[in-house]
Amino acid sequence: MTTTVTLELKFLTADGKTRNLSVKNPKSGLTSAELQPAMDAIIGLNAFEVKGINPFTAVNSARYVERTITDLIAEAE
């Protein structure tokens, strides 16, 4: 069994849709007080563009996502 943790940062786009930015193996125990300025900094970079639209214009939410995989038949080596 393997468990992975991802930090999922959700932003609103310039056209009102939601976009996610996922970070693998994040530091545990992050708080909203730590994440809010970091997400604001990502928005301030204005470094991303998807189909001519800035995908990160406002903070929507953030959460940890845990995924557990249980192999029933192991992969052949």
Q: For residue range 47-71, what is the model confidence (pLDDT) as tens digits?
A: 888 787 788 999 999 999 999 999 9
Taking the CA atoms of the chain, what radius of gyration do you get in angstroms? 16
| Residue 49, pLDDT score | 82
Mean pLDDT, the chain, whole residue set? 92
Which residue did the predictor score with more confidence, 30 or 14?
30
Cα separation values, 15 from 26, 29, 46, 51, 59, Å: 29, 32, 15, 11, 14
What's the average model confidence in pLDDT over 10-20?
Answer: 91
- Percentage, residues of the chain above pLDDT 90: 73
Q: 7 CB contacts (<8 Å, ≥6 apart)?
A: 22, 23, 26, 30, 62, 63, 64, 65
